Chain A
Amino acid sequence: MSLNPRNQERNDFSTLKNKFMVANKRYIKVVLVLVILLVGISFVSLFFGSTDGINYDIIYKIRLPRIILGMIVGCGLALSGAILQGITKNPLADPYILGASGGAAVGVATGIVLKLPYSAIYPLAIIGSAISTIVAYSIGKVHGQTKVEVLILSGVIVNIFTNAIVLLLMSIFYQDSQDIIFFLMGSLQENNIKLIIVSGILVLIGFVLSFLYSDELNIISQGEETAYHLGVNVEKIKWILFFISSIIIGSIVAVSGVIGFMGLIIPHIARVFVGANYKRFLVVSFLLGSCFLVTADTVSRTLFSPFEVPVGVVTALTGVPFFIYLLLKKNVKS
C-alpha cells in the first residue's frame, strides 16, 4: 500500500475492461450450458414415460404443453424469488414463504366459486398476490428495516390466513371444493393451451420489466438506506417491483396452483454460478428455474408411474431441507 505515483493508468484501465470481459465469458458459458441442458431435459421428458411405444397424441397434446408450462412456471417462480430477495434484502425470501402464492390462491379460489371466466381469474390472482405480499412485507418491516426472521414469521402468518380463507371458501361452496383442491395442488396438468400462452406472455413481460430494473435491484439489495443515498427512488421502485412479482406469481398460480420453494432454491444456485449482479443473475435464474421444474415434473410423473405425484410435493421435498440448511448456515455465521 504505497503512495507512489503510478504511470500505467492506461494499462490498469484496460485490465479492468478485460476483467469485465472475463466475467462476461463465464456468464455466457453458464447461459449456453443451461440452454443446452434445458433442450436436453425437454427431449428426455418428451419421450420418457409410460406409453406403449410412441404415441404422438400423448407426446404433442399432453407432454409438450406440460413441458412448456413447466418452463414458464419454473422461470416465473425463480424470477419472483430473485426479485423478492432483492427488495427485502433477505436471501430466504420466496413467493411461497412470503405468502404471495397463498394470496394468489385465494384469488383463484374466489374466481372458481364465483364461476368467473378465466379472464377474470388472472386479475384476481394477481391482486391476491399483491395484497398478501404487501401485508407480509409491512408486518415484517420494523423501524424501516426488514429483519430476516420477522419477515419469514409474517409470511407464515399471512400463509395461515390465506389457507384459512381458501378452506372457508371450500366449506361454504363445498360443491366446488374438488375443483379448488385440484387447482391448488401444485401440478402442471393443464390442457388449455390458451391459458399456457397467457401465463407465458405475462411471465415474459415480468422478466423484461425486472431486467430493465436490474440496476435498481442491485442497489436496493444493498439496503434501503444505501439505495436512498445512491439516488434510487426507493419507495417507487419497490412498489413497481412488488407489482411485477405479483403479476408473475398471480399468472403462475392461475395455471399451476401453489408450488413452493422454487423461488428460494434457484436464485441461490444462480448466485453461486454468476454472482449477485442482477444483470446476469436474473437471466441465469430464469433458465435454471425452467430446467429445474421440467426435471422435477418428469420425476413426479414417472417415479411412481402410473400414479402421479404433484410436482409441488417434489419441490417441497427438495426445498425444505435446503431452506433448513440456509437457516442453519445463517445462524452459525451470526
Chain B
Amino acid sequence: MNESWWSWDHAAAVLPDLLVAFFKYTLVATVLGTLIAVVLGLVVAMVRRISPAIIRTPVTWVVEFIRMTPLVVQLVFANMVLSPYIDSTFAIGIWVLGIHYTTYMAEVYRAGIDSVPKGQWEAATALSLPQMRTWRAVIVPQAIRSTLPALGNYAISMFKETPFFVVIYIPEMVRIAQTYGGDTFRYTESITLAGLIFLVSSYPTSVLIRRLEKKLA
C-alpha cells in the first residue's frame, strides 16, 4: 500500500479516452435518444387519445410492456434479436433507449394534454378548426409548456442511463473507465473522472432546461 490513492498521472492518461467516449457515445446517444423519445412520445400520446380502440389497445399494451421491463433487459434482448439485421450495436442501443423513454414521455404528454382546459378544445371546435390544426396550433403548444420540467428530468435521466450500454459492449465512458481500471488496477481515477464528467455535463443541461421553462412560462 505504498501507492497513493490518487494518481494525477493515471488521471491524465485516462481523461482523453473518457472525453472521446463521452462525445462519441454518451452525448450522441442522449441527444438522439431524447429526440426519438420527444417525437415518438407525442405521437404515442396522440394515438392513445384519438385513435380507435383497435389501434389504441395494442399501442397501450406495448407501452405498458416496455414501461414494466428494465432497460438493461431490453438492451440485451434487442441486441440479440436485431444484431443479425443491424450492423451497428450503437444504433440498436440508441433506439432502445429512445423507445424506452418514449413510453415515459408519452405519459408526460398525456398529463400535459389533459391539463389544457376543456374550453380550448371547445374554442377550436367553435372555430371549426381541422383536427390537425387544433393539435398543432392550440393543444400541443399549451401542453408542452406544462410538460417541460418532466421532459427535462427524463432527458437528464436518459443521459445517466447511457452506462447501461456496457451490457451490449458499446465502448461508452463507463466501459472505457472500467477497461482502464482492469488494465492498470487504477479504478479510482477512471471511475471518479467518469462521474465528474457526468456531473459537469448534467448541470448545464438542467440550467438550460430551467431557462427554457422560464422563457415559455
Asked if A and B are interacting partners, one says: no
Chain A interface (Cβ < 8 Å from any Cβ of B): none
